[in-house]
Amino acid sequence: MSHPTDETGAGRRPDAGARAVPGPAPVPPAGSPSGSPAVPPGPQEGPTAADLASQYAAKSGVRRNHAGQIDVLSSIGGVQGLAESIGPGLVFTVLFTLTTDLQVSLIAALAVSAVFTAVRLVSRTPVTQALAGLVGVAFCAFVALRTGNAEDFFLPGFFINGAYIVAMVASVGFRWPFAGLLFGFIRNEGIEWRKAPARVRAYSTATWIIVAVLALRLVVQVPLYLVGNVAALGSTRVAMGLPLYALGLWLAWIVSRPAPAVSEGSSASGPAAPKG
């Protein structure tokens, strides 16, 4: 501990007999009982738009390959993810077409989805996609059992599809196009692309491509649902599921490629080729 000081020097001993005159006690700042300066807490800042976009891009599963192009198979969950997507619906369609037994067909579809989830649990791989698929199949089965109509197994998918269309159209309207959120971070653009009107237009066009894929599903499948053609509905549902979405994703990636960067001193006829 340091020694107390007087007016004439540090550590000097006071004369004998001198009485120390106590000065006024320091008044601690309000709200600081220990006498240390009170530091008001700073504002609690929530996640920024860039943080939210980054988290969404990270969870989307979209990846690039070594050539800098979109890895379509990896982006839809690989072969396992593709099987998890089309397996339950395919089994339901085949069994119902052969047996016309709604309950057996629904149980088989649920069993296939449960097996996929169990495989992921045993192999300790991310279970989110399979678990979401299991919940989705269970809900579809519940709807079909309640109505007694096999075609209603596919009904919830129409509403989900429609919700995605509305959300993507809104994202274009608010100048936060879905494709930009999906591709911006894996292209190292972050959300800086929003400052360039040309990039916003490119990502808006890419988003419209994905919207067109989703709308095409409804155009083809809803009439089949209305006439109760389960076999055709199930077949088109498989073909126009992840495979068609993967094609739309690839086209959206190609359309939204950044313009080639022209290095200083290079001619306009020889720009560097972009990698994505």
For the chain, which residues make up each domain, given as ranges? 70-255
- Averaged over 244-251, what is the pLDDT? 92
For the ranges 55-59, 81-85, 123-127, 252-256, which has the lowest average pLDDT?
Answer: 55-59
Give the integer Cα–Cα distance in Å for 193 and 70.
18
In this predicted model, what pLDDT tens digit does every residue of 98-111 receive, in sequence order?
999 999 999 999 99
Give the integer Cα–Cα distance in Å for 113 and 20.
87
Predicted TM-score (pTM) of the model is 0.73
Higher pLDDT, 79 or 140: 140
Q: Which residues contact 234 (CB under 8 A, 6 or more apart)?
A: 89, 90, 92, 93, 94, 96, 97, 154
Give me the DSSP letters along 199-230: HHHHHHHHHHHHHHHHHHHHHHHHHHHHTT-H
- pLDDT band at residue 261 under the 50/70/90 scheme: low
| Residue 46, pLDDT score | 61
| Residue 15, pLDDT score | 43
Q: Amino acid identity, residue 80? A: Q
| Residue 144, pLDDT score | 96
| Residue 4, pLDDT score | 43
* Percentage with pLDDT > 90 across the chain: 53
pLDDT at 268 > cutoff 60: no
Closest CA to 90 of 123, 112, 65: 112
For the ranges 36-50, 125-139, 155-169, 260-274, which has the lowest average pLDDT?
Answer: 260-274
pLDDT at 224 > cutoff 50: yes
| Residue 198, pLDDT score | 95
Neighbours of 136 (CB within 10 A): 16
| Residue 30, pLDDT score | 46
In this predicted model, what pLDDT tens digit does every residue of 11-58 receive, in sequence order?
444 444 444 445 454 544 444 444 444 445 555 566 676 666 666 666
- Averaged over 241-256, what is the pLDDT? 92
| Residue 188, pLDDT score | 87
Give the integer Cα–Cα distance in Å for 148 and 142.
10
- Averaged over 249-276, what is the pLDDT? 65
Count of all residues that appear for the chain in the document:
276
| Residue 81, pLDDT score | 84
Highest average pLDDT, of 155-164, 177-186, 259-268, comes from 155-164
| Residue 69, pLDDT score | 74
The b/e string for 47-80 (b: 16+ C-beta within 10 A; e otherwise) is eeeeeebbeebeeebbebeeeeebbbeebbbeee
